[in-house]
Structure 1
Amino acid sequence: MIIITGTSRGIGKAIAENYLAKGEKVIGIGRNHTISHPHYSSLSCDLSDPEAVDRISFPDLSDETVVFIHNAGILGKVDYFEELESGEIAKVMQVNLFAGAAILQKLLRQIPATTSFRAVFISSGAGKNPIASWASYCASKAAVDLFCQTIQLEEQQLGRTNFQCLSVAPGVVDTDMQAGIRSTDESSFSEVERFKAYKNSNQLYTPELVAKKLFKLVHEMPLGQVIYSLRDIDL
């Protein structure tokens, strides 16, 4: 069973469709659903609402190999931190980390310790290098990295030997998020021209390429660490 957040478009949709094409069953979690497939089922949930996330429940997964991919993410308002509303970081952290963490906790409690289980959180290079006007996003993705490392350590100590928690940076991907970044005024985002250049020089990954690289990492490579970049994965 493959469980993915944010499957309505972009990377999440491409990941879901790649798994469906391989005959896997997929559960998509999010506000909107655009995939119609006999092996796709949906759980409607606003991931920015902690109470809605708490209400999520899953079918019996005791006989399943499970992969959970927390792909859903938001950039938040692109502007200097002193210009943001007070709740901006909390909202971004909720979607990018807390919602995925709450879902992972549900799954860890439900899935038998002997079951093959992979948890993947989509991270970002912005979690390793500061980008002005992206304080909320950078903070959330840095938190994702250390959260995944900590969960991996904990589950090893608890004896869940067939478990891996991964934090995976996909690279710069041609998504609606990138389109929004390019439309930001330079007065709010000093590096906007760099991101326009990525698009104009064809340096952006397609979501479909990201989906294929992620599948290779999760299912075809030895996993000896927690933090990965898909830039390092060759097809």
Structure 2
Amino acid sequence: MIIITGTSRGIGKAVAEHYLSRDEKVIGIGRNHPISHPNYSSINCDLSDPDAVDQISFPQLGEEPIIFIHNAGILGKVDYFERLESKEIAQVMQVNLFAGATILQQLLKKLPKDQSFKCIFISSGAGKNPIASWASYCASKAAVDLFCQTIQLEEQELGRNDFHCLSVAPGVVDTDMQATIRESNQNSFSEVERFKEYKNSNQLYSTELVAKKLLKLIHETPLNQVLYSLRDIEL
């Protein structure tokens, strides 16, 4: 069973479709569900709403291996931190970290300690290197890295032996988020020209490539750490 947040487009949709092509059962969590497949089921939820996320419940998951991928993420308003409203900052943290953490906690409570369980949070290079005008996003992705490391440590101590919690940076991907970045005003985002050049010089990964690399990491790579970059995964 594969559980994925944010399957309406981008990386999440590509990953879901890859799993469906392998005859896996997929549960998508989010506001929109354009995927139509007999093995796809959906949970409608606005991940920016903490109360809505708290209400998520899962059907009987059985004893099969479970993979949870918290892919949903938002950049937030691209502008200098002193110009942001507190609700804009909170929304980024809620979608990028807290929503996934809430779902993960429910799964950890529900699944037996001996059931195979892999949890993957999509992180970012922006969580390791500061980018002006992305303070909320950078902070949320840095938090994802340490959160996943801590959960891995805790679950080892609690005796969950067939468990991996991964924080995976996909690289710079050709998604709607990148399109939004390129539309930023120079006065709000000093590096906008660099991101335009990524697109113009074909340096962006396709969502299809990212999905293939992510599945290879999850299913074919010896998992001996928590932090990974898909740049290091060769097809």
* TM-score normalised by the chain length of structure 2: 0.99
Counterparts of residues 169-184 of structure 1 (less than 5 Å): 169-184=169-184
Residues 80, 134 of structure 1: 8 Å contact kept: yes
The one-character-per-residue Cα deviations of 1:26-48 (angstroms, maximum 9, x if unpaired) are 00000011100000000000000
Q: In the alignment, which residue of structure 2 is the partner of 1:203? A: 203
How far off its partner does 1:175 sit? Answer: 0.3
CA distance in 2, matches of 1:141, 1:87: 18
RMSD: 0.5
Q: Secondary structure, in 3 states, of the residue corresponding to 1:167? A: strand
Counterparts of residues 52-91 of structure 1 (less than 5 Å): 52-91=52-91
* TM-score normalised by the chain length of structure 1: 0.99
How far off its partner does 1:63 sit? Answer: 1.4
CA distance in 2, matches of 1:222, 1:112: 23
1:122 and 2:122 aligned:
yes
CA distance in 2, matches of 1:86, 1:2: 34
Counterparts of residues 1-16 of structure 1 (less than 5 Å): 1-16=1-16
Residues 62, 112 of structure 1: 8 Å contact kept: no
The aligned amino acid for 2:206 is T
The aligned amino acid for 1:40 is Y
Q: In the alignment, which residue of structure 2 is the partner of 1:162? A: 162
How far off its partner does 1:83 sit? Answer: 0.7
**Contiguous gaps of at least 5 residues in structure 1:** none
Moved over 4 A (4+): none
Residues 152, 226 of structure 1: 8 Å contact kept: yes
Q: How many residues align?
A: 235
CA distance in 1, matches of 2:6, 2:218: 19
Q: Percent identity among equivalent residues? A: 79
